[in-house]
A and B are shown apart, each in its own frame.
Chain A
Amino acid sequence: MDKNKKIVKISLLTSVGIIFSIIEGMIPLPISVPGLKLGLSNIVQLIGIVSLGGKASIVIAILKSILVGIGTGNVMSIMYSLPSSILSTFSMIIVYRYFKEKFSLVGISIVGALTHNFIQLIVASIIVGNLNVMYYFPYLAIASVFTGGIIGAVTISFLDRVGSSRLKI
């Protein structure tokens, strides 16, 4: 399929991802752990990896981080969302490419969530100048299993319903 269709699909997934990110920001969380979030927009990344391939999903991750930062007026946030976003997508691409037979999207999504949280805490440590935030990693890891698992399961059921062949290029 041609390049234009791919560009359109990347744009569509990016815009859905931005909407997810913004909606997610409105959901209040009962637990006070910095960095904890549902990771709704990870659905887009997973769909991107499955239907458009690794490079396209990295492009989606980069566009999403930048546009959410600009869109919400929080430009500084790009600096700390971009590395975690790119590396978590990258980790999911690796798992999808080499361990596709072993892990379903549930496992892949959990790996992505773990990487995302870990990199985010590292970025936070660098910015703040101490390693205090790493205290929260085990809590975030437990949360990642649930949030990542749910997001993975939602993506699987989405792909089943839509039929991933319709998304494929």
Chain B
Amino acid sequence: MTKYDKMLIIVVLIVSIIVIYIKALNVKDSKDNYIRIEVNGKIYKEIELEENVEKEEIIRTKFGYNKVQINGLKVRVKEADCPDQIDVKQGYISKPGESLICLPNRLSIEIKSRKNESNVDYISQ
């Protein structure tokens, strides 16, 4: 490892940690969240996240099939017909800004926060 290698490593780590830290500051309150399901860039559905409420949402479009499980404030993709299963393997997400992605089915599920709507939007867009 050269001096420049080390510099590169340190710069990347510091910048990434600062960005993550700033984002974390903006989304302190993680109650009052909802998920936005988008298919092919268009909003498919928005669902409120409430504690102790279990729901399942089946998304069937021309791109494919996904079954979303909402477990209180956590969301995951339970089943999908895509070959890579990356969205299923991703498991539960629960923090605003996090999203589940299924590329073959053009699906994205993002957790959004109502209280910090402007901040979250500013960061994610």
Cross-interface CB contact of B90 among A34, A129, A135, A142, cutoff 8 Å: A34
A132 pairs with B4, CB closer than 8 A: no
Expressed in whole angstroms, the Cα–Cα distance for A27 and B72 within the complex equals 30
B4 pairs with A124, CB closer than 8 A: no
A149 pairs with B98, CB closer than 8 A: no
Given contacts A73-B83, A77-B83, contact A135 B2 (CB under 8 A): no
Asked if A58 is an interface residue, CB under 8 A from chain B, the answer is no
Interchain nearest-CB distance for B30 vs A (Å): 15
Listed residue (A34, A74, A80) with the most chain B CB atoms within 10 angstroms of its CB: A34
Expressed in whole angstroms, the Cα–Cα distance for A29 and B90 within the complex equals 9
Tally of contacts, chain A with chain B, CB under 8 A: 109
Among listed A12-20, A39-47, A48-56, A97-105, interface-contacting one: A97-105
Q: Which of A40-84 contact B (CB under 8 A)?
A: 72-74, 76-77, 80
Listed residue (B16, B19, B38, B125) with the most chain A CB atoms within 10 angstroms of its CB: B16
Asked if A158 is an interface residue, CB under 8 A from chain B, the answer is no
A132 pairs with B13, CB closer than 8 A: no
Count B interface residues, CB 8 Å: 41
Given contacts A130-B38, A135-B99, contact A103 B19 (CB under 8 A): no
Cross-interface CB contact of B97 among A124, A135, A153, cutoff 8 Å: A135
Q: What chain A residues lie within 8 Å of B84 (beta carbons)?
A: 74, 77
Listed residue (B2, B5, B110, B124) with the most chain A CB atoms within 10 angstroms of its CB: B5
B2 pairs with A104, CB closer than 8 A: yes
Q: What chain B residues lie within 8 Å of A144 (beta carbons)?
A: 12
Asked if B59 is an interface residue, CB under 8 A from chain A, the answer is no
Cross-interface CB contact of A141 among B16, B38, B92, B104, cutoff 8 Å: B16
B16 pairs with A107, CB closer than 8 A: no
Q: Which of B1-20 contact A (CB under 8 A)?
A: 1-2, 4-5, 8-9, 12-13, 15-17, 19-20
Q: What chain A residues lie within 8 Å of B1 (beta carbons)?
A: 104, 106-107, 153
Q: What chain A residues lie within 8 Å of B87 (beta carbons)?
A: 34
Q: Which 6 A-B pairs have the closest CB atoms?
A: A129-B41, A107-B5, A138-B16, A102-B4, A132-B99, A32-B90
Binding site for B on A (CB under 8 A): 28-29, 32-34, 72-74, 76-77, 80, 99, 102-104, 106-107, 110-111, 114, 124, 127-135, 138-139, 141-142, 144-145, 149, 153
Binding site for A on B (CB under 8 A): 1-2, 4-5, 8-9, 12-13, 15-17, 19-20, 23, 38, 40-42, 83-84, 86-87, 89-93, 97-101, 103-104, 106-108, 110, 123-125
